[in-house]
Structure 1
Amino acid sequence: MVTKPDRRRWAVLAFATLGQFVVAIDVTVANVALPSIQAAVGLSDSTRQWVVAAYSLAFAGALLSGGRLADTVGHRRTFVAGLASFGLASIVAGCAQEPVLLLVGRVWQGLSGAVLAPSALAIVSATFPRGRDRARAMGIYSSVAASGLALGLVVGGLLTQILTWRWAFWFVLPFVAVAAVGGATLLPREAHAVRVPRNDLVGGGLLLAGLAALALGVARSQSDGVDPTVVALLAAGVLSIVALILVERRASAPLLPPAVVAQPARAGAYLVTTCVLMGLFGLFILATFYLQDVKGYSPVATGLAFIPLVVSMALGATVLSGRFANTHPRLLILAGLGLAVTAVMIMRQLNPTSSYVTVLLPAEILLGFGLGTVLVPCTNISTYGVVPGNAAAASAIYAAVQQVSAAIGTIVLNGMAAAGAASWAAAHPDAAPFENTIAGLVDALGLTIGLLVLAAVVAVLFIRPTEPSGPAPPNRSPDSGDLAMAAHPTSRTSREEP
């Protein structure tokens, strides 16, 4: 029998997951719509990726401050406020008539998501602190988050062709309203003092400035080569990150709590996620342009072509991860990476006459299962055993890793594909444009394979087999305790929820 408190917990999970879904789907919803957006607002080939990257960079740069704000002000307040701000930003982005306003809206969406996302994950982690239900809840949360990334490709294509690309941004508004009302109604009120430490704001500003400078430098180097402006941007980015480290060492409430980031398995989960999303996220954009520019797919057909990826990602996150819940996270991660590498190797066989059914479809299915299988244990490890005062901060660090990786991966892979296409065109002046596109895609996929292999090495080195589950030694803090419960969520000592 399901008791009323149990029903309330699962309802909380539903609304928190819906908030994360809103954030996740907007990461990719513009991808399939990008050719239409580019034509409508006048973006160049070298700047089009900023419609995607501006969102991810603003999101990533503000996430740590957003996590600290949530821990200070209260998860309920920041969850609801983040949703309201996200809705307003979506309206602005959808109403844009020129590039500047569109990018302003995307940056605003990213900043709003930086407050919303860590609050949502912290709410789920606090609602399901341990046991079988935590494993199930994290599987659902990860599945919805991962599926939102893939579903954005489908929704963006459908809305762009049936209505207009503007609805790719307005689409989330009903979900925002439902999640905000549900969160305001169900989540308990928190009595937190509304005060953010000064160093948190300084550190947040340095992080945002550093990421922006590095991303701009990388993007410019891809299109214009290494010139004085590129050197200045990269230097400014590095100096900002160094300054951030110095500020954090003296901060009373650092954005990067040592007890959170110093745990080896948790650090390993962050690094695996970085490599995986850097290598794979840019493929969504490249696959979109392959289907539309090379194969001649419409936006709707392109969106529908990604449905197998959505379904297999959801199944990988729920069915496979649930079926092997007692398997050590490292084994799950390595298995998922093996599937992803196989998928990318299949994609490297793409050519102008490739059949969707024999090449892209099996690659999508393998890639979806692989991503889902990797992300669930990484999400669980990244938030398990964190003390309440660091809950949103830990969630923010993991979300920031995802967004930074996605943004940098998008910029680098798009730039590498463009450079590869240009190089092929110069060497083969009689080649058709689609042949140049294929050459660039193959170059970018080579980098993706290298990053996935690096992720496997990191998993082996950092995410080691845990000691038997049980109480942590007296001299070990909860943040740095063993991750046996995360590795074996249904072990004998963890069957009962508190």
Structure 2
Amino acid sequence: MSSIPHNGAPGPSPGDLAAVSGRRWWILAVACLTQLMVVLDGSIVNIALPTAQQDLGFSDGNRQWVITGYALVFGALLLVGGRLGDLLGWRATFLTGLAGFAVASAIGGAANSFGILLAARIGQGGFGALLAPAALALVTSAFTDTRERHRAFALFSAVTGAGGAIGLVLGGALAEFLSWRWCLYVNLPLVLIAAVGGLWLLERQQAGEQPPLDLRGALLSVTGLVALVYGLSNAETAGWSDGSTLTWIFVGLGLLAAFVWVQARVEAPLLPLGIVLDRNRGGSLIALSVAAAGLSSLFLFLVYYLSTILGYRPLTTGVAFLPLVGAIVVAAQAGPFLIGQVGPRVPVTAGFLIASVSLFSFTRLGLASTYTGDVLPGLLLVGAGIGLVMAPAITAATDRVEHAHAGVASATVTTVQQVGYSIGTAVFSAVAAGAADEYLSTRTGHDPRVVAQSLVESYTAAFGCAGWMFVLGALVCFLVLRSGPLTRDPDSPITVAH
């Protein structure tokens, strides 16, 4: 097979070759597997973390960095990873990311100290920042037919939305029956399958005339995102009024503002601003950020509720989230029909409103609540809502983007989700802590039921806050997103020139 000419060189795109060879659905399978691996690695260690802490003997203060280290580097490098894919070719970027992710996972699984484990998680985040944009960019380019493209994004969106819950299930099973180390080792067979698929399916790309990497933009985006995500993470432990928290957040916002200023003026920007200024794409990025923020409340506080209040073991806690996975997958399949008929505004708005009803129902959880009667209906409802949001939003966020910018557009999708998740975790953690303190401030003694009820009060306060966030997201998306079906003419993409 002929090689794919790259930016500036004439010739067929990866999508054209995939369509001719009939391999586009196999490319989708490899992309979905890769996306699943990257997403679940953000949550798979959560349940196994207490065991790892006991085994390696690190402190409670260091424990959060096993999760934050991954999120920090992953979120900060996504835009750079997406741009490198556009410049160097997605095949090379994809395979490099897989190799590095495998090495980091193996080192983490064999770690005999906290320092090695943390370094491995940082390595996973860095190479994951190469993989995630490449996976979405491959799907974006492989499917040019409108109907097929919508179906492909429905499946990819289902994996994205359900990946965190699958990580909880898998992490619980591995921690209970094998070892916490297998929460990292499990990536090795997944990488092997994806690498074989990548070598078989993806064409080697020739470097055409390439614009230089925007180094100023890269530096500003990386440092800005690191400062912002670090500040938000610090708010979980130090609080929102802490001086270091506010300093890091304001520094991050200032650097990101400078990044936008630079992008509007350089000849070859890291992120062409047209990608985010289009109404449908911009509104979809807002939707994905809000969806990720709201899901963070479930993956954090519902896990706590099931384990601390209902007394579930790690595996049982993970399995309890399976209905959420099923609901997301089923609802996402309605995305192709809805976005083809009415566009993104209706399903995204409706999805947020449905999900908000679910989260408001969780505010009624108590010490005597049951999984079947009180948790399961809400999980099914929020899964249906998120499924309706994710597929249309991801489709619209990458709609009619020039082939040369597919990688950075895909990276932007993942970046807003990562930042949204970090914001949600920090905000809801602060809300939960405040609710628990307020409840205990009016009571004395150490009655175990009082302590347990304070925990319930903290969880339900976070769910209520997330519910109102979804209501606000529904309003904003209704106002910003356009009505009418999306159309995609691969020969006439929307320009994203700055």
When the two structures are superposed, what TM-score results if normalisation uses the length of structure 2?
A: 0.89
Q: How many Å separate the matches in 2 of 1:35 and 1:188?
A: 43
- Give the C-alpha shift of residue 194 in structure 1: 9.8
How far 1:477 sits from its partner (Å)? 6.0
Match of 1:202 in 2: 216
1:335-388: CA deviation from partner (whole Å, max 9, x where unpaired): 211221111011111112211001111111111111111000001001111111
**Could you list the per-position Cα deviations for residues 148-193 of structure 1 after superposition, in whole angstroms to 9, with x for gaps in the alignment?**
2221111011111111112112112111111011101211111125
Shift of 1:302: 0.7
Structure 1: which 5+ residue stretches go unaligned? 482-498
CA separation in 2, counterparts of 1:152 and 1:16?
A: 17
Mapping 1:183-332, distance limit 5 Å: 183-192=198-207, 197-199=212-214, 201-225=215-239, 226-318=241-333, 320-324=334-338, 325-332=340-347
Q: Which residue of 1 aligns with 2:176?
A: 161
Whichever residue aligns with residue 476 of structure 2, its letter is V
The worse-fitting range, judged by mean Cα deviation, of 146-155 and 389-398 is 146-155
Deviating more after overlay: 113-122 vs 235-244: 235-244
Q: How many residue pairs align between the two structures?
A: 475
Question: Contact 2:400–2:488 at 8 Å: present in 1 too?
Answer: no
- Long gaps (5+) in structure 2: 1-17
Match of 1:15 in 2: 30
- Find 1:449's aligned residue among 458, 461, 467: 467
Amino acid at match of 1:450: W
2:341·2:485 contact (CA, 8 Å) conserved in 1? no
C-alpha distance 47-293 of structure 1, shift in aligned 2 (>3 A): farther
Sequence identity (%): 36
Post-superposition offset of 1:75 = 0.8
Q: What is the RMSD computed on CA atoms of the aligned residues?
A: 2.6
CA distance in 2, matches of 1:403, 1:349: 29
Equivalent-residue separation in structure 2 for 1:70 and 1:448 (angstroms): 35
Q: Identify the range of structure 1 (78-87 vs 34-43) with the bigger mean alpha-carbon deviation.
A: 34-43
Q: Return the alpha-carbon distance in structure 2 between the equivalents of residues 479 and 358 of structure 1.
A: 51
Change (3 A) 1:21 1:479: farther
Structure 1 residue 221 displacement after superposition = 3.9
Deviation string, structure 1 residues 299-321 (Cα, Å, up to 9, x no partner): 11111111111111111112x32
Distance 1:72 1:224 in 2: 40
- The TM-score, its normalising length taken from structure 1, stands at 0.89
Query: Secondary structure, in 3 states, of the residue corresponding to 1:27?
Result: coil
1:221-251 Cα offsets, whole Å, 9 max, x none, are: 4433424333432332233223322332333
Sort the Cα spacing of 1:193 and 1:7 in 2 relative to 1 into closer, same or farther, 3 A.
Answer: closer
Change (3 A) 1:186 1:386: same
- Distance in 1 separating the partners of 2:184 and 2:100: 14
Give the aligned residue type for 1:421: A
Looking at structure 2, the residues matched to 186 and 28 of structure 1 have their Cα atoms a distance apart, in angstroms, of 29
* Deviation of 1:13 (Å): 1.5
Determine if contact 1:57/1:403 at 8 Å carries over to the other structure. Answer: no
Does the C-alpha gap of structure 1 residues 269 and 46 become closer, same or farther in structure 2, counting only changes over 3 Å? Answer: farther
Report the residue type matching 1:56 in the other structure.
A
Distance 2:303 2:66 in 1: 15
Query: Residue 142 of structure 2: which of 118, 121, 127 is its match?
Result: 127
Q: Secondary structure at the match of 2:411?
A: helix
What per-residue deviation string (whole Å, max 9, x for no partner) do you get for residues 406-461 of structure 1? Answer: 12222332333233323323332335332121111122112201210111112111
What is the alpha-carbon distance in structure 1 between the residues aligned to residue 227 and residue 401 of structure 2?
Answer: 32
Where do 4+ consecutive residues of structure 1 move more than 6 Å?
none
- Pick one of 436, 444, 449 that aligns with 1:429: 444
1:222–1:416 contact (8 Å) kept in structure 2:
no
Q: Does 1:478 align with 2:494?
A: yes
